[in-house]
Amino acid sequence: MASTIFACSEPSPSQPSTDEGAPGQTYPDSVYDFLAIPKTDKLSAASKRALERNYAQGPEWFIEFTKSDLKGDFAYEEGVTRRDPSDLIKVGDTYYVYYTKTVGKSYGFGTGDPEKKVFPWDKSEVWYATSQDGWTWKEEGLAVGRGEAGAYDDRSVFTPQVMTHEDKYILVYQTVKAPYVNRVKNQVGMAISDSPEGPFKKLSAPILSPTDDGEWDGEEDSRFNVKSQGSFDSHKVHDPTLLHYKGKFYLYYKGERMGEHKTFGGREIKWGVAISDKLTGPYVKSEYNPITNSGHELCVWKYDGGVAALIITDGPERNTLQWSPDGINFEIKSHVKSGPEAAGLDQSLDFEASPVAALQWGLTHEYVTGDWQVIRRFDARKSFNP
């Protein structure tokens, strides 16, 4: 039975020691009471987990979402895919967003025709659109196109993210070099402009590449046949997001592994971070990678001196909000029912106003069909705002 009535926020009890799961661990009476666990030696496995994993945290990070169709050029258009919205930046009274745009059906691998589009994000470009109210969007045009034949980005550029820094507008995005085969290793590019409308000037080389340490097995074009899988990002680096944090540039990204397998959390997708003193690199991958064990499209933002992350799609910690004090060591702060995929946040919001202030609204994408995807809006459900 569902109920739509909720209690107001209330303070959570003091947390147990972080030495979780140690033998003989005891917890304050307030924790047992908060968790509705009788203080006896007859604890179910679930109650033991609730104590050990600190399920007595309060609702400060808890949030739920609604999703809505958008108007103007972001209304659904059959035959066109718009997806992977970047964060939103507000310049004057105008919102800007950058996104993946492609047209035409996808045919998958193995057609024998190397020109045929394999995925909805193949043969794509980064476009941008503007809005005054966040609801009606006008598609303005191309922001970053594909490179010339033979360039590292000659097949596809997609999943953009935007950052403003010292009067510059910086885009980071994923790139693929032709031919688009199962074993292609995509990279991350960067382009910089003096205006949100461009022109965006590409750096001459990618700023991030897969870790070069797995080994394919045989010659067949299969991404599942490997002698060794290598690092979590041995195959692909995806969905880059750049933060200027602690005086350095933190390039967060999703890794895909050669010979990907499935686990009890579905796809084995994890995130990493690469750090540079300079905006244009070189970006050095953290020795602590992977920094998540779950996730998919990146969604990170600065909060309270640390970095917050919305982890939705894959892995054992899917559907969580997490926070790290240092941009690297992320702890679970809440478990949401579901959330916006590929979320783009409104960078003009006051992210410090509350743990979930960054998530009050933004853009997301959804699959209408396997071929056509559409950008929609997400909003926080008002009744869940702390």
| C-alpha–C-alpha distance, residues 319 and 254, integer Å | 16
Nearest to a copy of itself of 131, 174 (CB atom): 174
| C-alpha–C-alpha distance, residues 67 and 104, integer Å | 26
**Are the beta carbons of 279 and 248 closer than 8 angstroms?**
no
CB of 331 to a copy of itself, least distance (A): 6
Which structure tokens are listed for 173?
A: 């995005």
CB of 129 to a copy of itself, least distance (A): 20
CB of 161 to a copy of itself, least distance (A): 12
Nearest to a copy of itself of 95, 216 (CB atom): 216
Q: How many CB atoms lie within 10 A of CB 151?
A: 16
Nearest to a copy of itself of 135, 288 (CB atom): 288
| C-alpha–C-alpha distance, residues 386 and 383, integer Å | 8
CB of 340 to a copy of itself, least distance (A): 13
Nearest to a copy of itself of 223, 377 (CB atom): 223
Around 183, how many Cα atoms within 13 Å sit in the side-chain half-sphere?
16
**Overall size of the chain counted in residues:** 386
46 burial type by CB count under 10 A (0-12 exposed, 13-18 middle, 19+ buried): exposed
CB of 238 to a copy of itself, least distance (A): 5
Nearest to a copy of itself of 11, 92 (CB atom): 11
Nearest to a copy of itself of 279, 312 (CB atom): 312
CB of 69 to a copy of itself, least distance (A): 17
| 3-class state of residue 383 by DSSP | helix
**Are the beta carbons of 157 and 98 closer than 8 angstroms?**
no
Q: Nearest-CA neighbor of 258 among 293, 224, 290? A: 224
| 3-class state of residue 70 by DSSP | coil
CB of 254 to a copy of itself, least distance (A): 8
Nearest to a copy of itself of 43, 349 (CB atom): 43
51 burial type by CB count under 10 A (0-12 exposed, 13-18 middle, 19+ buried): buried
